[in-house]
Amino acid sequence: MRSFHIILLFLIGFSLFPLVAFSQQTVSPLEKNNYTKVTSYDELSSYVHLLDEKSDLLKVEIIGKSVEGRNLYALKYSSSRFGEDPSKIRVLVFAQQHGDEQSGKEGALLLAEVLLRPENSYLFDKIDFVLVPQMNPDGSEANKRRNANDADLNRNHLILSEPETIALQALFDKYLFEASLDVHEYWPYGEAWIKYGYRKNADETVGTTTNLNVSKEIRELSGENYLPFIKKYLSDRKFSSFEYCPGGPPEVEYIRHSTFDINDGRQSMGIQNTFSFIQEGKNGKDDLIENLKHRAEGQMTGMRGMLEYVYLYKDTIKNIVASGRKKLISGVSGEEISIQSEHVRNGMQLRIPLFSYFSGTDSVINVNDYRPVVISLYDVKKPAGYLIPAQSAEVVEWARRHSLIMTPFKDTGEWYIEQYFINAVDSIDFEGDIVVNPSVTVRQFPDSIAATGYFFIPAAQLKGNLVVLALEPKSMLGLITYKNYAHLLKKGEPFPILRVIKK
Ligand SMILES: [Zn+2]
């Protein structure tokens, strides 16, 4: 009987082994539901807490609440104390700012578990990582793009009027991430494209920062090194990809690499000289679960690939980010900042892979009206800073939401102050939209009035370029292009925000 017992124990041991191995892997709600429904907010909440409990690598934090009071979760991965080892690189990935772009959240939740597997632990030798899987839980529950205040969160990173974007930017301000990725979906099935006879078909599209005021080194490394890397990474894992180029169809609308505006997730971090990207997976056609497994895995693979790149090029990225940020913080006064830009051609034809509605197959189309290059139309010299009237509560509050350095102004005699006078209010084409474009005259401000009633916002800070873009009246990305700040601009009157120049 003794040998029988040994055999029995042996058998039990073997049959338990796969069970134990299986239970170590926590199954995501999407997999549990067999890809037949998207993950609800409640399922997401229990899942991230489950992952938190099983791993020391991961800590889940609530960084804020949505309009309807749902939690915004940040999953913080670190093999040490988060953010305290200066040799590591700090990376932020956030998904589902748009509630009807479900695969970003699903991919992030897959990634959340994949990162806890032993074969991926090497990443955290060099990376402190934060994953925000769901930026817009209210929109997600209703499967709609906007948040519960009907705001488009991905146009809200400059004015920061919504609790969701305020929470994310506060998280950014806290850790000053050196690399970031904003995850979305694109919907290629529109009427104009059907008429055109083709549609986009890449599983993933990836875009870099394009605002001219982001450091050139970051923009170059992103375009010349990161894009080819991520394309290959995705293709090696059987996902097609292409550079992010929303808009079109070709020759109906020109093709560009999206906006240079700094109000979205990608550029709002990019303008602080962050190595920053957007990734958009292909949405389902008219059913949110169509092809959901492939979509979620494609998104997860793109995020995982970004971490791989950051791991491999950690020192390069850290160096160019540090030197770009040093320049912002020291605030090179007199530096030219582009506040009006446009997309232009460079003689290149874009060969874009598209799915043909005629033949039902993938093909490649030549795009003639391709405008990949951003050029400046209007520069201003960076001042030492700005004075904002203390009585302009909305501007003061805006500066506080951004945690801008803001001090009482002391006229020490080393400054002079400029004021714009608004002669006329014209308009300018901004990527197909019309925005205000005042004609201005610069006047020297009487010295005596300068000291009282104003707060000083120095341009020498990490958000220095953001400040210039926000506060200059001729900026096509400025605060006055938003409804709540439009009243600051009045024809025939002085502009209330003053420029401080070093003598
Ligand atoms: Zn989106």
State in Å: Cα 284 to ligand 1 middle: 13
Closest C-alpha to 300, from 442, 219, 231, 204 = 204
Q: For the chain, how big is the Rg over CA atoms in Å?
A: 25
State in Å: Cα 196 to ligand 1 middle: 23
For residues 15-51, one letter each, b for 16 or more C-beta atoms within 10 angstroms of the residue's C-beta and e for the rest, the string is eeeeeeeeeeebebbbbebebeebbebebbbebbeeb
State in Å: Cα 387 to ligand 1 middle: 35
pLDDT value, residue 419: 95
With tokens 């305020």, the residue in question is 166
State in Å: Cα 226 to ligand 1 middle: 21
State in Å: Cα 102 to ligand 1 middle: 10
State in Å: Cα 98 to ligand 1 middle: 5
pLDDT value, residue 46: 97
State in Å: Cα 152 to ligand 1 middle: 9
pLDDT value, residue 35: 95
State in Å: Cα 436 to ligand 1 middle: 26
State in Å: Cα 459 to ligand 1 middle: 31
pLDDT value, residue 24: 61
For residue 364, what are the CA distances in angstroms to 21, 223, 252? 46, 21, 17
pLDDT value, residue 288: 83
State in Å: Cα 215 to ligand 1 middle: 25
State in Å: Cα 186 to ligand 1 middle: 7
State in Å: Cα 502 to ligand 1 middle: 42
Q: List, for the chain, all residue ranges whose pLDDT scores fall below the cut of 70.
A: 1-24, 447-451
State in Å: Cα 138 to ligand 1 middle: 15
pLDDT value, residue 409: 86
pLDDT value, residue 449: 60
For residue 38, what are the CA distances in angstroms to 6, 29, 156? 47, 8, 26
State in Å: Cα 140 to ligand 1 middle: 12
Task: Let me know how long the chain is.
Answer: 503
- Which domains are present in the chain? 17-329 (3.40.630.10), 341-375 (no CATH), 381-502 (no CATH)
State in Å: Cα 400 to ligand 1 middle: 27
pLDDT value, residue 8: 47
pTM tops 0.85, yes or no: yes
* pLDDT tens column, 77-98: 999 999 999 999 999 999 999 9
